[in-house]
A = this chain, B = another copy of it.
Amino acid sequence: MSRFPRLETLPTPALVLDTDRLDRNLHRLSARMAEIGVTLRPHMKTAKSIDVARRAFPDGPGAITVSTLAEAEYFAGYGFHDLTYAVGIAPHTAERAMRLRKDGADIKILLDTVEQALIVGEAGRAAGVTPSAFIEIDCDGHRGGLLAPDPKLLEVAAALQADGVAIAGVLTHAGESYALDTPEALEAAAENERAVAVDAAERLRAAGFACPIVSVGSTPTAHFAKSLDGVTEMRAGVYMFFDLVMHGVGVCSTDDLALSVLSTVIGGKPEKGWIMIDAGWMALSRDRGTAAQRVDQGYGLVCDLDGRVYRDLVVAFASQEHGTLAIRSGSSEPLPDLPVGAKVRILPNHACATGSQHERYHVVSGCEGTVTAEWPRIRGW
């Protein structure tokens, strides 16, 4: 094998990352945030890779968001010390986060109850550090967090202050924006997210509490917010790679999708209009996030080796190590002629889920067809 193997020589299934598209996606959002004057704190839960983080921060480590303490420890080990761990804290994670803080990382944690404030205070004292905590705000009812007018907001802030925990600020996530698909609805969701977070921050400040950071974020609202007045930082993750769900939401085109799964044809049932490939749900994930969208992409949209989409050809079914390609129902497109051994690339529904099925990225630049690097991914908790 040469120094730079050809894409078609890789064992399959294999996760492919196109850095031309990655760089374009990174630039698009960072330019937008710079224009609006808001810090971008990328969520590394999608990429889980130091190489991708370095691509996002070519001038050296910056502020990032993580979804696990394994990610926090990994990125801190590479100098990314400004971390937000954006999952509600529990006793064992509080202890572990405070050990990381003791080791020099400015890790901020997330909570929305007085009991969690006490847990974090206790963990901080045990480690001999001052914890820093975001209060989670609920902007659209999809998960955790407090409503901005909820009197518990000030109770939690008071408990943090009383227990020696610094208030990092407020943090919200418009998870419901993933279900939208018009610019108007996305702009409204972004404005709601902004307004709720700023409202919560103002209520804290009016009651005499500090609230330095006002953090919002989801990939759709990041791209559709008209104003972020009062917001200080934006979190987004999947924007680096994009995926078919984001395409269905209307945030990107299929040409923006930086991630794909290289796969080999292993059989066919021409009489049924089926082509079998070696990428099943183990390689693609079980995520069917486009099933509820206007265009159901099955388990993914099929491209040729150079990344050109076969019109209306999707992974219609998936078992563990088998995918079945078929033309989308209602389409009159012909089934392409793909014999055993032919290579295809599958654009995924959900980049976070598909990425997590793989140990590494095989890195290509556009249509050049050579694999210039392998970038490992981390997993686990």
Q: Residues of A with Cβ closer than 8 Å to B?
A: 11-14, 45, 67-68, 87-93, 96, 111-113, 115-116, 119, 141, 143-144, 175, 264-269, 272, 276, 278, 281-283, 285-288, 317, 319-322, 324, 339-341, 350, 352-353, 356-359, 379-381
Contacts and interface: CB of A to CB of B under 8 A. Distances in A.
Given A175-B319, A319-B175, A119 B340 contact: yes
B143 A266 contact: no
Contacts of A339: 115
A11 B264 contact: no
A202 to B, nearest CB: 23
A141 B317 CA distance: 13
Contact of A359 (B12, B14, B379): B379
A267 B113 contact: yes
Nearest to A118: B340
B353 A322 contact: no
Nearest to A349: B286
Given A143-B317, A359-B379, 19 more contacts: A11-B92, A13-B381, A14-B381, A45-B320, A87-B322, A88-B267, A88-B276, A88-B340, A89-B266, A91-B340, A112-B267, A115-B339, A116-B340, A144-B266, A144-B276, A282-B356, A285-B286, A286-B353, A359-B380
A266 B322 contact: no
18 contacts: A11-B92, A11-B96, A12-B381, A45-B320, A67-B321, A87-B278, A90-B264, A90-B266, A111-B267, A112-B267, A113-B268, A143-B324, A144-B276, A278-B381, A281-B353, A286-B286, A358-B380, A359-B379
Contacts of A380: 358-359
Nearest to A283: B381
A281 B353 CA distance: 8
Contacts of A265: 90
A244 to B, nearest CB: 14
A12 B92 contact: yes
The 3 closest A-B pairs by CB, nearest first: A88-B266, A286-B286, A88-B267
A358 to B, nearest CB: 8
Contacts of A285: 286
A87 B321 contact: yes
Contacts of A111: 267
A264 B116 CA distance: 13
Given A286-B285, A288-B286, A352-B320, A341 B269 contact: no
B144 A322 contact: yes
A180 to B, nearest CB: 16
Contacts of A356: 282, 357
A32 B370 CA distance: 52
Contact of A116 (B87, B267, B269, B321): B267
Contacts of A68: 321
A357 to B, nearest CB: 7
A341 B45 contact: no
A12 to B, nearest CB: 7
A341 B12 contact: no
A317 B175 CA distance: 12
Contacts of A116: 267, 340
A356 to B, nearest CB: 6
Contacts of A91: 340-341
Nearest to A141: B272
A277 to B, nearest CB: 9
Nearest to A115: B340
Contact of A340 (B14, B90, B283, B324): B90
Contacts of A268: 113
